[in-house]
Structure 1
Amino acid sequence: MTQGYRDHAAEIRDDFTRDQHWEKLTQEEHAIWRFLFERQARILRDRAVPAFIDGLSGLGIAADGVPEFERLSDVLEKTTGWRIVCVPGLVPDDVFFRHLSERRFPSTSFIRTREQLDYLQEPDVFHDIYGHVPLLMNPVFADYMQAYGQAGLRADARHCLHNLARLYWYTVEFGLIATDDGLRIYGSGIASSKGESIYALEDRRPNRLGFDLRRVMRTRYRIDDFQETYFVIRSFEELFEETAQDFQPIYDEMASAGDYGPGDVLPEDRLYQPNPPGAEAA
């Protein structure tokens, strides 16, 4: 059981939501948000996809402190029909998918400590709100997230979640997108990480492969280090069109197909070169 569950178990609703209690956040917690925001703002200026930067601006997510979920939700709902719901930590798969399928994004409310600035095991409010929520202002990506939630409910009933989890990991969490100005970040796990924001785009070690749905679903991933492989989409429209379907035929195919390792490169893979090194922010 996570710390969040222990502290707030009495107030958790049946759908695993609870109140944010923004007014109880401390000056230190707001200061940590400010430090993380300002650090990532410098790093992502020329590394994040423009839609991410536009989403931050449109939502008014800034360095002054942890945002109030209700205020963000009011803006989101008017733009793409999404709202943010506060949850105490990681929630069961079916609960998570249900929220997404109904255009609700589950976010934790706790923030990492200063000892965890560069790594923590479970998502915190900076990862969830700064990393995920800005792209929910983009209509196509917002539709993709809802479609993923609907696919998750079907996959849960068919016991195929391991394949679908890889799709989320390599897109929503660790996705790259090709633009006229080079590769850009859209995955929240990269966007909320100082080190991986630079590594994913500019280091020569990881593979950067063209997105292919079946390839993604067969590829294992790392949870304990920077990724060995990133998949590159060409547009959010491509991502939505590739995934807005019933995956059952693909799951049937996957059942008799082997997995690929996190660092495998196949002869048919489309390879992208890293971006030229940019300025590393402190």
Structure 2
Amino acid sequence: MSHFNDFNNPQVAALPGHLKQFIVDQHYEHYTPIDHAVWRYVMRQNYSYLKDVAYYPYIPGLTKAGLTIERIPDLQEMNNALAKIGWGAVTVDGFIPPAAFMEYQAYRVLVIAADIRQLKHIEYTPAPDIIHESAGHAPIIADKDYHEYLSYFGSIGAKAMFSAQDFELYEAIRALSILKEMPDADEEEIKKADELVTYRQENMGEPSEMALLSRLHWWTVEYGLIGTLDQPKIYGAGLLSSIGESSSCMNPEVEKLWYTIDALKYSYDITKPQPQLFVTPTFQNLINVLEEFANTMSFRRGGAYGLTKAVESKNTCTAVYSSGLQVSGTITEFKVDKHDNPYFIKTTGPTILAVDNKLLKGHGKDHHKDGFSSPVGKLKNADLPLEDLSADQLKDLGIIVGVQAKLDFESGVTVNGTVKNILSSTEKIQLITFTNCTVTDKKGHILFDPSWGGYDMAVGEKIVSVFCGAADKEAFEEIVYKSKTETHHADYDWKTRELHKLYQQVRNCRLKQGDYGFLGNVWQKLQHDHHDDWLCALEILEMLEHEHIEPALTAEIRQFLGQKATDEPELKKLISDGFYLIAHPVEQNLVF
């Protein structure tokens, strides 16, 4: 994307470069009159049903998010509205990697898939679409406790360790969702893609932190209920945007459980209705459960536990020393003493050193292009950890710039070389650089040889935190892996373009309350050339009935739709729900 549109929204403007790469233009002009009709149908259904089961006042929530029932939201309008509550919104191409999705949440930006589901998937789509993201997630954003939870979740999720398997599953799910939304997808290909998702879901091994967090996300943000077990209300976006499941989920067959840390034990399948749902008494409880889980995560535990997760992840991770020094790269090896405390760590490939998530000058990927290794721990002959020593205490140990020094660590690692530079900040020493330096372990094995160049020794008694991704993402140019599969965009044939015109004429007639007599012509054309359409016919019927005109035409269309509901069982609920909406219109003063 050559230009970056921040919609004059401070949250969007503040996004870092590695997140901006996922943003695509909304291309509002690509939405067809059928797309707008699909949006309107789903939103009217949502309102009609959700006003009784949704936790929050649905329509005021829509207004606060800059949405209307009549047409697909324009991103600028959404950003104008969301800015008032300290949020923003951007459009992306389908599923993006979980870590990036989490980070957007931490920046308080809603990620919205720019596409909208096809008419044939009006009840449920496996692909993320603008209905799910904006009608599901956006209206509740105005609730302060809830949006605090969402951004806090994002900041924790952005640090979660993910495994190589998580990544493969993400790719498989993305590919399947794209195929399913393709008008001309080959059934055999869909079947294969489906099997791959199932296979990968069943062979995930021990679930990673990201996999476990995504369960908490699923059972709250996507499928959460709030209130009491016997009379819960819906707040999860997956339920709010599925006109099928938002009603079926209240059936007693769907078990309702209190939301606690135990929700971690329940995996989920994105292609099937949920067998059980979790009810939280308050949004604060969501934060408490998340906090309980965060305390078990590598970024809070550090040590050998965190380093093991980093090695398994095979991705860029950051190890944080107790001095505040952050080492970001692919961690491939570490050594522990008999108390399981790490005393040596090693990365392979490009590595950066940072403090406070900002690159240390001169310690970027070019300087450490082949990896980095360093001891961890205390010196044998010092009472205090090395990072806490004053200039005088360093002098007493012979650690003086320009002088050769020998550092003996409790672990048996020895560093012997000429001190070139001592780097410190925030009253702690983070790095000592040596020239002509040899590093050996307690058995005398060479860990660093002078011929390899200068030696940068990280300083710190412990590894206090390990998290996924780089500390300074911009310096690492973290191209959070971007998928090569692009979502499909249709080319419309002549006949479909004709149908678009008919939908547009009906829309114009409704908005301008214009020449209703013209609807008879549209109906004739639909009958003649587009016999399988039902939604346009339903919109014509709605106007004729509300205006009490042309009773013969009204009866003819009603009969046609009734017959269609009988002949095509998959349309039965959609058409009868449409009839219900005509009889019980959404109050017009709420449809701005």
Aligned counterparts of 1:181 and 1:50: Cα–Cα separation in 2: 18
2:254 aligned partner, one-letter code: P
Q: Note if 1:58 corresponds to 2:107.
A: no
1:179/1:61 Cα in 2 relative to 1: closer, same or farther (>3 Å)?
farther
Equivalent of 1:105 in 73, 94, 110: 110
* More helix as a share of residues: 1
Aligned counterparts of 1:32 and 1:25: Cα–Cα separation in 2: 11
2:47 aligned partner, one-letter code: A
Equivalent of 1:189 in 238, 261, 266: 238
What is the CA distance between 1:204 and its match in structure 2? Answer: 1.6
Aligned counterparts of 1:161 and 1:180: Cα–Cα separation in 2: 28
Contact persistence 1:222–1:228 (CA under 8 A) = no
Deviation per residue, 1:52-74 (Å, 9 max, x gap): 44312333422210011221122
1:218 aligned partner, one-letter code: K
Q: Note if 1:232 corresponds to 2:279.
A: yes
Equivalent of 2:227 in 173, 178, 196: 178
Unaligned runs of 5+ in 2: 5-18, 164-207, 306-575, 579-592
Whichever of the two has the greater Rg, that structure is: 2
- Structure 1 partner of 2:380: none
- Structure 1 partner of 2:288: 241
1:249 aligned partner, one-letter code: T
What is the CA distance between 1:110 and its match in structure 2? Answer: 0.9
Contact persistence 2:209–2:297 (CA under 8 A) = no
What is the CA distance between 1:156 and its match in structure 2? Answer: 3.1
Q: Note if 1:210 corresponds to 2:258.
A: yes
What is the CA distance between 1:217 and its match in structure 2? Answer: 1.3
- Structure 2 partner of 1:3: none
Aligned counterparts of 1:222 and 1:83: Cα–Cα separation in 2: 29
2:267 aligned partner, one-letter code: R
2:40 aligned partner, one-letter code: R
Three-state SS of the structure 2 residue aligned to 1:95 is helix
Deviation per residue, 1:193-234 (Å, 9 max, x gap): 122111112x12111000102x11121123222101100001
1:90/1:191 Cα in 2 relative to 1: closer, same or farther (>3 Å)?
same
* More strand as a share of residues: 2
Contact persistence 2:124–2:243 (CA under 8 A) = no
Aligned counterparts of 1:180 and 1:112: Cα–Cα separation in 2: 33
1:117 aligned partner, one-letter code: I
1:229 aligned partner, one-letter code: Q
- Structure 1 partner of 2:94: 89
Aligned counterparts of 1:85 and 1:139: Cα–Cα separation in 2: 21
What is the CA distance between 1:29 and its match in structure 2? Answer: 1.1
Three-state SS of the structure 1 residue aligned to 2:159 is helix
1:188 aligned partner, one-letter code: A
What is the CA distance between 1:10 and its match in structure 2? Answer: 9.0
Contact persistence 2:162–2:211 (CA under 8 A) = no
Aligned counterparts of 1:102 and 1:245: Cα–Cα separation in 2: 22
Deviation per residue, 1:66-104 (Å, 9 max, x gap): 01122112211212x110111011111222122111111
2:65 aligned partner, one-letter code: L
Aligned counterparts of 1:180 and 1:66: Cα–Cα separation in 2: 35
1:41/1:14 Cα in 2 relative to 1: closer, same or farther (>3 Å)?
closer
Contact persistence 1:172–1:188 (CA under 8 A) = yes
- Structure 2 partner of 1:155: 160
Q: Note if 1:164 corresponds to 2:228.
A: no
Three-state SS of the structure 1 residue aligned to 2:296 is helix
Q: State the superposition RMSD in angstroms.
A: 2.7
Aligned counterparts of 2:271 and 2:102: Cα–Cα separation in 1: 24
Q: TM-score, normalised by structure 2?
A: 0.39
Unaligned runs of 5+ in 1: 1-8, 254-279
What is the CA distance between 1:129 and its match in structure 2? Answer: 0.3
Contact persistence 2:102–2:158 (CA under 8 A) = yes
Higher relative contact order structure (alpha carbons within 8 Å, sequence separation ≥ 6): 1
Contact persistence 2:66–2:81 (CA under 8 A) = no
Number of residue pairs the alignment of both structures matches: 246
What is the CA distance between 1:237 and its match in structure 2? Answer: 2.1
Aligned counterparts of 2:39 and 2:2: Cα–Cα separation in 1: 27
Aligned counterparts of 1:210 and 1:72: Cα–Cα separation in 2: 34
- The within-5 A match list for 1:258-273 is none
Equivalent of 1:38 in 16, 28, 44: 44
Contact persistence 2:112–2:130 (CA under 8 A) = yes
Three-state SS of the structure 1 residue aligned to 2:96 is coil
Identity of aligned residues (%): 29
- Structure 2 partner of 1:277: none
Aligned counterparts of 2:229 and 2:153: Cα–Cα separation in 1: 27
Contact persistence 1:98–1:150 (CA under 8 A) = yes
Equivalent of 2:84 in 59, 69, 78: 78
